């Protein structure tokens, strides 16, 4: 009983987004405010991009990050947890896998980063998902809300832009309105956004969920300013050669939960990821030698993430 909706502690978790909007119309208003903001195209400088089944947390005075964001969300949800006093914030891109652990990690990270700021509450913002034919989005919404509801920390839901409110009809087919969001870590402002550059090693990072690894990976250490990928392993993907021989439409239909509404680059990204898996069937051997993560630090001149070798004693560029 620790989920707070519109300032009131809840005994029960809302069963779906319709019930949430029906019983708490204030969330319609806050969703409408977000939907009225024009979409921004965000470049790579100062961006920390979070892929599917990833999360990241930081603070307003992080000199390496200005915008935390994610996009390409159809049936998935973007989850933001923020401490209103300190501005410490965590963002995750969740597809229903690894939700329990991800939620606990997000709250823990934000609490750690908010130490020394006694004033403030922990706020939850949910964006993404739409009225898809199979109700995938609603299932993910309920699983996320249930985990927050069970958590011992009091959580204040301040924004829910999803389900019917994030749905528009095109040619009789439901489409998402907002595919992604950015959050200005200095101000806490959330806005609709797309990100042409999704950061380093996209194919490797996407290989995790394409091969069925359920964990949500924490990819950033804000105390060091390091983007951290891995180490992780996945099983060789049976039939990867056959997958790569298929048509774009076949890949779209078989590997998407919402093939009608995917962005145009979806199949290209999947093909690049399948090729990466084909070339690196055992990443523990070929990618993460010595079981070391891949580290990236913000280059002071270009503003882009550049690889570094890091150990506890020093860093090599």
User: In terms of pLDDT, which residue wins out, 257 or 188?
Assistant: 188
Q: What is the pLDDT of residue 178?
A: 96
**CB 196 within 8 Å of CB 203:** no
pLDDT band at residue 313, thresholds of 50, 70 and 90? very low
pLDDT band at residue 1, thresholds of 50, 70 and 90? very low
Q: What is the pLDDT of residue 314?
A: 58
Q: Can you give the residue ranges of every domain in the chain?
A: 3-200+210-233
Least confident of 125-129, 215-219, 232-236: 232-236
d(CA 127, CA 141): 10
d(CA 111, CA 49): 22
Average pLDDT of the chain is: 92
Least confident of 28-37, 247-256, 305-314: 305-314
pLDDT band at residue 316, thresholds of 50, 70 and 90? low
Least confident of 1-15, 66-80, 134-148: 1-15
Paired sense of beta strands 155-161 and 3-5, if any: parallel
Per-residue model confidence as pLDDT tens digits over 61-91: 999 999 999 999 999 999 999 999 999 999 9
pLDDT band at residue 188, thresholds of 50, 70 and 90? very high
pLDDT band at residue 98, thresholds of 50, 70 and 90? very high
The fold of 3-200+210-233 is: 60s Ribosomal Protein L30; Chain: A; (3.30.1330)
Residue 246 neighbours by CB under 8 Å, 6+ apart: 254
Per-residue model confidence as pLDDT tens digits over 258-298: 888 888 899 999 999 999 999 999 999 999 988 999 999 99
Per-residue model confidence as pLDDT tens digits over 244-255: 999 999 999 999
pLDDT band at residue 11, thresholds of 50, 70 and 90? confident
Asked whether the predicted pLDDT for residue 128 surpasses 90, the reply is yes
Q: Which residues face 8 on adjacent strands?
A: 5
């Amino acid at each position: 009983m620790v989920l707070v909706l519109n300032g009131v502690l809840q005994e029960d978790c809302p069963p779906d987004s319709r019930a949430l909007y029906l019983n708490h119309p204030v969330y319609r208003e806050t969703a409408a405010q977000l939907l009225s903001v024009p979409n921004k195209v965000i470049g790579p400088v100062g961006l920390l991009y979070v892929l599917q089944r990833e999360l990241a947390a930081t603070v307003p005075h992080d000199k390496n990050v200005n915008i935390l964001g994610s996009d390409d969300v159809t049936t998935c949800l973007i989850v933001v947890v923020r401490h209103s006093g300190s501005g410490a914030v965590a963002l995750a891109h969740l597809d229903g896998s690894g939700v329990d652990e991800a939620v606990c990690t997000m709250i823990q990270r934000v609490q750690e980063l908010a130490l020394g700021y006694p004033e403030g509450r922990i706020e939850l913002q949910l964006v993404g998902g739409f009225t898809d034919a199979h109700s995938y989005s609603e299932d993910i919404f309920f699983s996320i809300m249930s985990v927050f509801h069970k958590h011992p920390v009091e959580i204040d839901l301040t924004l829910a832009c999803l389900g019917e409110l994030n749905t528009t009809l095109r040619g009789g087919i439901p489409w998402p309105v907002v595919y992604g969001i950015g959050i200005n870590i200095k101000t806490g402002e959330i806005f609709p956004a797309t990100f042409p550059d999704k950061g380093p090693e996209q194919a490797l990072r996407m290989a995790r969920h394409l091969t069925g690894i359920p964990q949500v990976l924490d990819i950033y250490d804000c105390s060091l300013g390091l983007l951290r990928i891995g180490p992780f392993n996945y099983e060789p993907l049976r039939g990867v050669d056959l997958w790569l021989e298929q048509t774009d439409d076949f890949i779209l239909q078989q590997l998407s939960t919402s093939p009608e509404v995917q962005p145009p680059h979806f199949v290209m990204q999947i093909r690049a990821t399948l090729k990466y898996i084909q070339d690196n069937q055992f990443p523990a051997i070929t990618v993460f030698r010595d079981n070391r993560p891949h580290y990236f630090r913000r280059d002071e001149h270009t503003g882009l993430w550049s690889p570094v070798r890091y150990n506890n004693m020093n860093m090599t560029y």
